[in-house]
Amino acid sequence: MILILGPKDIHTDRVAGRVSALGEEVITLNSGDFPKCVSLCGTLENDRPGTIRLSGQPTAIPLESIRSVYWYAMSGLAVGTEYPEEEADSGFGSFLRNLDCHWVNPPQAVLLHRYKFHQLKLLKAAGIRVPDSLMTNEPESLLAFYQKHQGRIICKPLYQGLLLHQVTEADLLPDRLERLPESPLLFQEYIEGTDIRVHVVGEATFASEVVSELFNYKTDFFTRPIEIPDEIQALSVRAARTLGLVLAGLDFRRTESGDYVLFEANPSPQYLIFEDQCGYPITNTLAAALVQGQ
């Protein structure tokens, strides 16, 4: 049995369909249904670790029958007013970590994405080129970084919130700088070049060029398939492994000199637009990895 962790949408539907076509039973669990519509029972017995029962299902599912998990997305927890959210989070988190099976991707690797600056440090330590970066809520540190790069830097959220944008002199006015101590932000050198998305599934890589008129292309773009050098394919797999990822969406920028700079590794990429526009078999590759458990 394959467990898909995430809300029911086009991504989970497509993966579930491909897994079913390979002859494997699949269930989808939306974290937003727990604990109100999902019941869990965990034990410390190796051969009978517990059960999960979804709303409306007549029988509970033995956890030992789950061979692989695809963690697509978390959508919060359905916590009532009587009990602290931390209790439900501890229970659900323990349930996930006690599943002794193949994960795409493991909980600790998915949660690492919350700590983008640490992710960048791990990638750099592995010899992968990342942009010069600064995490700070100190105005004076931001000003020094801005001067270091002759005013060519970008700002992006550390986790969620503020959209990516290029820092201008207006951002450095006193009334803007005085807000920085309230929350740290991530600043990076601006890298001129072409946006490249590489999806990694195990050892397989699928590279796409992103075409957009927008500085932050996420909201309006199209893609086309490209060939990338063998060494960049190998580097992409190594980057994913460095972060403990089986599936990853890697955001590169290719410079005019042909260098590849890695900005981010997404553990839960929304890859269907790349699959559909480029004709890549990403879902098939992912489904096969889930069924094979590797």
Domain extent for 21: 2-104
Percent of the chain residues past pLDDT 70, beyond the cut: 93
Predicted confidence band of residue 106 (pLDDT cuts 50, 70, 90): very high
The pTM (predicted TM-score) of the whole model is 0.91
Angle, vertex CA 160, rays to CA 191 and CA 91, nearest 5? 135
Co-location of 119 and 227 in the same domain: yes
Length of the chain, please? 294
Q: Inform me whether the pLDDT recorded for 215 exceeds 70.
A: no
Based on the fold, state whether residues 200 and 268 are members of the same structural domain: yes
Model confidence over 88-102: pLDDT tens digits? Answer: 888 888 888 888 899
Q: Report d(CA 2, CA 292) in Å as an integer.
A: 10
CATH at 183 = 3.30.1490
pLDDT higher than 60, residue 77 = yes
Angle, nearest 10°, between helix axes 282-292 and 10-21?
Answer: 60
The span from the CA of 142 to the CA of 164, in Å, is 16
Q: What is the percentage of the chain residues whose pLDDT exceeds 90?
A: 67
Residues 36 and 157 in one domain: no
The answer to whether 249 and 263 are in contact (CB under 8 A) is no
Burial of residue 158 (CB within 10 Å: 0-12, 13-18, 19+) is middle
Q: What is the mean pLDDT of residues 130-142?
A: 96
CA 115 from centroid of its chain's CA atoms: 11
Q: Does residue 254 belong to any structural domain of this protein?
A: yes
What are the residues whose beta carbons fall under 8 Å from the beta carbon of 130, sequence distance 6 or more?
120, 123, 124, 261, 262, 263
CATH of the domain at 7: 3.40.50
Q: Is residue 216 part of a domain?
A: yes
181 and 247 housed in the same domain: no
Q: Cα 20 to the chain's mean position, in Å?
A: 24
Confidence of residue 243 (pLDDT cuts 50, 70, 90): very high
Number of domains in the chain: 3
Q: What is the pLDDT, as a whole number, of residue 35?
A: 83
Which token pair is 8? 């029911």
Q: For 5-9, 125-129, 244-248, 287-291, which range has the lowest pLDDT when averaged over its residues?
A: 5-9
Question: Hey, what are 50's tokens?
Answer: 């517990």
Over 90: is that where the pLDDT of 149 sits? Answer: yes
| Residue 285 covered by a domain | no
Same domain, 203 and 241: yes
For 154-212, how does the pLDDT look when each residue is reduced to its tens digit (9 = 90+)?
998 887 645 678 899 999 999 999 999 998 999 999 999 999 999 999 999 999 999 87
Residue 8 lies in a domain: yes
Find residue 103's DSSP bridge partners: 69
Is residue 215 included in any domain, yes or no? yes
